[in-house]
Amino acid sequence: MKGISIKDIAKQAGVSPTTVSFVLNGKAKEKRISDQVSKKILKIANKLKYKPNQLARGLRTGKTKTLGLIVEDIANNFFANVAKVVEDEADKHGYKVLFGSTEDNTEKAHGLLEVLKYRQVDGYIITPTKNMEKEIELLKMVRKPVVLMDRYLPNVDSHYVVVDNYQGAYAATTHLIEQGYQKIAIITTTSDQVQMKQRMDGFMAAFKKHGLPYNKNVVKRLPFEMDRVGHTQEITKYLKASKVDAVFFATNYLGIYGIESIRSLGLRIGADVGMVCFDDHDLFRLHSPSITCVSQPIEEIGRQIVNVLMKELNHASSTSQQLVLQPTLEVRQSTMKEVEPVA
């Protein structure tokens, strides 16, 4: 079941494999191959539908034309959407994508990197977990392009594409305040990764700016590993105990659990408890009442990630490309104290 190889073409054209390789790699001019021979080879290659064996090529050149995509959770709406854009864009450049989910677990992330490394992927797109500084540095050492996404590592100088988490959270919180909510809380993860920290900071900044009393009770942190039931129970418990009148959920899945929790308490979203969530979702758009959220420009995130990576793959730059894209606040019904008629 062998495919067409460079030898087959060489044989048919009556030339050496070397010549075929030169021509097929566009080095005909540089290597002074005559036009006649070039054309003949091209024609035959076309006729035979020759496709270079990527393994052989990779073995020789060290380039596999493969990217590694390590996300937190490929089943999550945000990451799945980014993955799609990434795959699409990469494809345009002739790259394929290997993927894996970390579940925000350092061990899993480590395992994924390990595998991708000895699969010799050319570049990495990584949603880093904590304690990944060393591994990222290591990749830099071996000159493998890396683009971090969704978050970055403050102590590592690397390329990254993220959104302005601070501004997003600040705008969301300010919006809640301006809508007249008084006792506002933030529900976030236990993780102290930069994107979460920035969302916290944006939240707090809005608090300060408007002179709201800030204390540790306004923050509820929940571990990523906890399951759905655990999350909703914890959120429900917290909401019942703390008597807040609005909540900022720091990620999309927390927002989803949050909706469940608020409703299980018999409270009306918007009227009784305002809510904003970081990251959009079909669910937020269509929920009644619809959920105000900080929407990330997914298309652009994906495009830029690949963009940066391709630039690096072609000619490594000395300075890190660090893109901070602006999210948009999608104002919906969950932040209206007066209940709007359901559309």
Residues binding its own copies (CB under 8 A)? 1, 3, 51-56, 58-59, 64, 66, 73-77, 80-81, 83-84, 87-88, 91, 96-101, 114-120, 141-143, 256, 259-260, 263-264, 266, 281-283, 286-288, 342-343
Least distance between DNA and beta carbon 105 (Å): 28
The CA distances from residue 244 to 81, 152, 275, in Å, are 33, 32, 11
CB closer to DNA, 54 vs 320: 54
Task: Choose among DNA, its own copies, none what residue 261 binds, the Cβ cut-off being 5 to 8 Å by kind.
Answer: none
**Residue 100 contacts DNA per CB under 7 A:** no
Task: Choose among its own copies, DNA, none what residue 287 binds, the Cβ cut-off being 5 to 8 Å by kind.
Answer: its own copies
| Nearest-angstrom CA–CA distance, 256 and 277 | 9
Task: Choose among 254, 261, 259, 265: nearest CA to 288.
Answer: 259
Number of residues that bind DNA (CB under 7 A): 29
**Residue 18 contacts DNA per CB under 7 A:** yes
CB closer to DNA, 50 vs 181: 50
Judge whether 139 and 158 are in contact, CB under 8 Å: no
CB closer to its own copies, 2 vs 315: 2
Chain centroid offset of residue 162 CA = 8
**Residue 49 contacts DNA per CB under 7 A:** no
| Nearest-angstrom CA–CA distance, 224 and 111 | 19
CB atoms within 10 A of CB 206: 22
Task: Choose among its own copies, DNA, none what residue 307 binds, the Cβ cut-off being 5 to 8 Å by kind.
Answer: none
CB closer to DNA, 16 vs 131: 16
What are the backbone dihedrals phi and psi of residue 299, each rounded to the nearest 5 degrees, phi first?
Answer: -55, -50
In terms of Cβ atoms closer than 10 Å to its own Cβ (0-12, 13-18, 19+), residue 30 is exposed
Task: Choose among its own copies, DNA, none what residue 260 binds, the Cβ cut-off being 5 to 8 Å by kind.
Answer: its own copies
Pick from 12, 48, 53, 212: which binds DNA (CB under 7 A)?
A: 53
CA angle 159, 160, 165 (to 5 degrees): 150
Crossing angle of the two packed helices 6-13 and 35-47, in degrees rounded to 10? 130
Give the three-class secondary structure for 125.
strand
**Residue 59 contacts DNA per CB under 7 A:** yes
Least distance between its own copies and beta carbon 198 (Å): 26
Least distance between DNA and beta carbon 25 (Å): 5
DSSP string across 144-201: --EEEES---TTS--EEEEE-HHHHHHHHHHHHHHTT--SEEEEEES---HHHHHHHH
Binding mask 24-43 for DNA (x = CB under 7 A): xx-----xxxx-xx------
CB closer to DNA, 60 vs 208: 60
| Nearest-angstrom CA–CA distance, 289 and 335 | 9
CB closer to DNA, 57 vs 263: 57
CB closer to its own copies, 95 vs 152: 95
| Nearest-angstrom CA–CA distance, 14 and 163 | 57
Contact residues: DNA, CB under 7 A? 2-3, 5-7, 14-19, 21-22, 24-25, 31-34, 36-37, 50, 52-53, 56-57, 59-61
